[in-house]
Structure 1
């Protein structure tokens, strides 16, 4: 489990690609102070397992499903990546609940400055967009952010200078692909409501008739 508060910007040192998988070597320093083989770490918001540790970084395997669901397959040697270790039970919960399980990817369609802030608009597939609400939470490449506006096929977030400085957001350009993870609460509620409707024949008409 993660919070979406980025601890460090790492760098891709090496990528070994197989037919449908990959092995990433990531350069890091801050997170190495308490990192062990088998630990979970979010790389651009994707939960990976550390398989090897070196003096200046770590190695993680990326399976077929992860490459299909995320933008990790687009990474190149030298690319910066957002890094976050799994949250501690005795720490402050500064962001929101982030699992590291990506729902899909989006494409940056617009970037504009607004005084000291920067607005990013991200075009999003409808299956992902349906769970995005104004003033709700969204994880973009593992960064916990607040949704500012929602449109028919996209949404926008407004970034303060601190977030831009301590994450990879400042390096993004229009057309770049980003990993998206919805707030998990909406997905669970939809799933549970679907089961209740199926089991108890609850319909919109039934709820309206009884004052809901």
Structure 2
């Protein structure tokens, strides 16, 4: 489990095409400190498993499913990446609950600079807009952000100087893809509510008598 608070801006140092998958080697001195085989590290918001590690680098295998549902397939040697280790039990939940399971890829539409921050507009893939609400949480390339405005096929976010300087979002341009993970709570609520009817065999809820 992650929180969407990027720990380090890393870099892709090698890409090995394995046909139906890829093996990435990534540099990240902070996230590899104390890393073990099998650990999870979020790379641009995608939860990957450490296959090998040494020095300030680690390798991770990325399956075809992940390549198809995320923007990792577009990474090349030298690409910057947002890195985050899993949150320790008892650690601070600085962002929101992030699984590292990408729901789809959006694309950056426009950037509107201000004196101290930027408003960024991102196009939503079909089917995700129902999970995005104004002032709600969304993960963009592994960064936990608050939605400023939620439209039918887009949303906007406000990026502070720290986010611009320490994550890949500071250098993304119009047309660039971004990995999106919506708030898991929204998906669970939708699943539980369904069409508003109780599941077959479910007990009726007790009705409270009005207070007199």
TM-score, with length taken from structure 1: 0.91
Q: Measure, in 2, the Cα distance between the counterparts of 1:136 and 1:23.
A: 34
Q: 42-51 or 117-126, which moves further after superposition? A: 117-126
What is the match of residue 77 of structure 1?
77
* Per-residue CA distance 1:110-168 (angstroms, 9 max, x = gap): 01112211111001113112100000000000000000001121000000101111111
Mapping 1:166-177, distance limit 5 Å: 166-177=166-177
- Stretches of structure 2 that go unaligned for 5 or more consecutive residues are 202-212
The Cα offsets for residues 170-198 of structure 1, whole Å up to 9 and x where unpaired, read as: 11111100000000001001111117626
| Off by >4 Å, runs of 4+ in structure 1 | none
How many angstroms apart in 1 are the aligned matches of 2:186 and 2:197? 16
Alignment of 1:105-124 (within 5 A): 105-124=105-124
Aligned position for 1:209 = none
Gaps of 5+ in 1: 202-212
Q: Which residue of 2 aligns with 1:210?
A: none
2:45 is aligned to 45
Query: For 1:84-95, what aligned pairs fall within 5 Å after superposition?
Result: 84-95=84-95
1:186 aligns with 2:186: yes
Q: CA deviation at 1:89?
A: 1.0
Query: What is the TM-score normalised by the length of structure 2?
Result: 0.91
CA shift for structure 1 position 55: 1.0
Aligned with 1:180: secondary structure? strand
User: CA separation in 2, counterparts of 1:62 and 1:129?
Assistant: 27
Alignment of 1:27-176 (within 5 A): 27-176=27-176
SS in 1 for 2:32: helix
Q: CA deviation at 1:16?
A: 0.7
Compute the RMSD of aligned alpha carbons: 1.4
CA distance in 2, matches of 1:193, 1:16: 44
Q: 2:19 maps to what in 1?
A: 19
CA distance in 1, matches of 2:197, 2:63: 36
* Displacement of 1:91: 1.4
